[in-house]
Amino acid sequence: MIALTASALFTPLQKIEQPVVLLEDGKILEIDPRAALAIPSGCRIVDFGDAILAPTYLDIHIHGGAGHDVMETDPGALPALERLLAQHGVGGYLPTTITAPVEQTLGALERLADAIESGDATPGEGGRARPLGIHMEGPFLSHAKRGVHPPESILPPTIGMFNRFWEAARGRIRLMTIAPETEGAQEVIAEAARRGVCVSIGHSDANQEAARAAIDKGARHATHTFNAMRALDHREPGILAVVLSDDRISADIIADGIHVDPAIVKLFIRAKGAAGAVLITDALSATGMPDGRYRLGTLELDVKGGRCTSRGILAGSVLTLDRAVRNVMQFAGCDLQQGVRFASLNPAKAAGLEKNGVLEPAAHADIVVLDRNGGVRKTIIAGAL
């Protein structure tokens, strides 16, 4: 048994001063203030001093990092990415596909399902973040708002094609981004939601009616708000007005100061509130790497000064989730506890991963050790110190 002590702990809904966290077999046994919990004799005590303990972060939209893309065939790709993620406080993630030829996508889904099942069998192995499900970003997107997704591989949504992806992924699709205005989208949204997928509206030129219809059918999230969406207009507000005002859905944002201006990040946090705002990275293979040329699926990317482009179009980021937390503290005046919630509990709830993103008895001992400014001192995954 291990006892962790620190200055404070975020559950993240509550703050506990001078906590003691008892761990055993990769799980949390008990959390209490030091004055209320006697540490069992023979217990190994690890004191983190003036640090803050919090749930590890969960990135539900990430394409790669450490020079690797999640769709590539190199068996070393995901382990390299997972080690990088752990260095930045991330304990779990949804490897995110990009629109690609069908056979390539099916092969990637099979490999990612293998990785998820392997991670389930050996949680926390080697100080690596764990893949907890798949996010399919494409191919059911709008041509008008496709961003860098290759137009020749964008497909109209059909139940038949969704079934092919679902079977290749062995039911491991946790989240799917879809443009609700495309023909056939509403039927696919309803079926995916019925199977427990978090349907996320995005890469979309939808009007209000199509966006609301998607939510009525079961969509419950929105992908990288403002980016690859019809612009907000005061007379024809479109999808953005629904995303920002409908409390039935959560929404995520890339808070790197490049994809969205800091003032808009502040407005987004105010609109979605403490329970509805989610931080993502949309990170690419170049994350954690020097400027240069990299790949995203079949695309070539140029990275310079933190900006990722493909043929001059903004394409993902090199943001890390710990930096996103610190950015919302700066951009929106959030405190660290709020920032932690946006990167842990909220994405876990959005993706239907209720056992993640929270510190409580019986939960996985996935804990990030932070300084007062949100800097990562250590990441503990499945209790591995």
Q: How many CA within 13 A on the CB side of residue 46?
A: 15
- Assign 332 to helix, strand or coil: helix
Question: Has residue 303 been placed in a domain?
Answer: yes
Q: What is the pLDDT of residues 55-78, one digit of tens each?
A: 999 999 999 999 999 999 999 999
Question: Has residue 295 been placed in a domain?
Answer: yes
Q: What is the pLDDT of residues 336-346, one digit of tens each?
A: 999 999 999 99
Residue 298's pLDDT is 74
Question: Has residue 311 been placed in a domain?
Answer: yes
> What's the whole-number mean pLDDT along residues 286-291?
93
pLDDT beyond 80 at 13 = yes
The CA-CA-CA angle for residues 205, 97, 152, to 5°, reads: 60
| Beta bridge pairs of residue 265 | none
**CA-to-CA distance for 179 and 200, rounded, in angstroms?**
9
**CA-to-CA distance for 95 and 363, rounded, in angstroms?**
22
pLDDT beyond 90 at 164 = yes
Residue 71's pLDDT is 95
Residue 122's pLDDT is 65
Q: Sorting pLDDT into bands at 50, 70 and 90, what band is 359?
A: very high
CA distances from 162 to 136, 197, 361 (A): 10, 12, 37
The closest alpha carbon to 163, from 106, 101, 204, belongs to 106
Percent of the chain with pLDDT over 90: 89
The closest alpha carbon to 10, from 47, 52, 49, 51, belongs to 52
> What's the whole-number mean pLDDT along residues 331-338?
98
The closest alpha carbon to 278, from 230, 222, 232, 326, belongs to 222
More confident residue, 310 or 105: 105
Tokens linked to 147? 């961003």
**CA-to-CA distance for 112 and 169, rounded, in angstroms?**
7
Residue 178 C-alpha from the chain's centroid: 16
More confident residue, 315 or 182: 182
Question: Has residue 264 been placed in a domain?
Answer: yes
Q: Sorting pLDDT into bands at 50, 70 and 90, what band is 37?
A: confident
Percent of the chain with pLDDT over 70: 98
Question: Has residue 11 been placed in a domain?
Answer: no
pLDDT beyond 90 at 38 = no
pLDDT beyond 90 at 320 = yes
Q: What is the pLDDT of residues 253-276, one digit of tens each?
A: 999 999 999 999 999 999 999 999
**CA-to-CA distance for 372 and 112, rounded, in angstroms?**
36
Question: Has residue 73 been placed in a domain?
Answer: yes
- Tell me the DSSP string of 293-327: EEEETTEEEEEETTEEEETTEE--B---HHHHHHH
Q: Is the dihedral of CA 266, 144, 219, 216 positive or negative?
A: positive
- 21 membership: H or E segment, kind and range: strand 19-24
**CA-to-CA distance for 336 and 298, rounded, in angstroms?**
38
Which residue in 69, 205, 282, 366 is the catalytic one? Answer: 282
Question: Has residue 178 been placed in a domain?
Answer: yes
> What's the whole-number mean pLDDT along residues 76-105?
97
- What is the span of the domain harbouring residue 230? 56-356
Residue 355's pLDDT is 86
**CA-to-CA distance for 149 and 177, rounded, in angstroms?**
13
Which burial class, exposed, middle or buried, applies to 371 when counting CB atoms under 10 A from its CB (0-12, 13-18, 19+)? middle
Phi then psi for 11, rounded to 5 degrees?
A: -80, -25
Q: Sorting pLDDT into bands at 50, 70 and 90, what band is 250?
A: very high
Residue 297's pLDDT is 72
- Antiparallel, parallel or unpaired: β 198-201 and 251-254: unpaired
For the chain, the domain total comes to 1
Residue 112 C-alpha from the chain's centroid: 16
pLDDT beyond 80 at 4 = yes
The closest alpha carbon to 139, from 174, 181, 97, belongs to 97
Q: How many CA within 13 A on the CB side of residue 337?
A: 10
Residue 299's pLDDT is 78
**Contact indicator for 300, 81 with CB cutoff of 8 Å:** no
Residue 125's pLDDT is 67
Return the minimum-mean-pLDDT range out of 168-177, 183-192, 282-291, 292-301. Answer: 292-301
pLDDT beyond 80 at 326 = yes
Q: What is the pLDDT of residues 190-217, one digit of tens each?
A: 999 999 999 999 999 999 999 999 999 9
Residue 124's pLDDT is 61
Q: At a CB cut-off of 8 Å and minimum separation 6, what does 108 contact?
A: 70, 71, 97, 100
Q: What is the pLDDT of residues 117-140, one digit of tens each?
A: 997 666 666 689 999 999 999 999
Residue 30's pLDDT is 96
> What's the whole-number mean pLDDT along residues 267-286?
97
pLDDT beyond 90 at 85 = yes
Q: At a CB cut-off of 8 Å and minimum separation 6, what does 66 contact?
A: 80, 81, 83, 84, 285, 287, 288, 289
More confident residue, 120 or 235: 235
Phi then psi for 303, rounded to 5 degrees?
A: -120, 125
Phi then psi for 291, rounded to 5 degrees?
A: -55, 150
Q: Indicate if 282 belongs to the active site.
A: yes
- Assign 117 to helix, strand or coil: helix
- The domain spanning residue 192 has which CATH number? 3.20.20.140
- Assign 25 to helix, strand or coil: coil
Q: Is the dihedral of CA 314, 316, 320, 326 positive or negative?
A: positive
Mean pLDDT over the full length of the chain: 95
pLDDT beyond 90 at 241 = yes
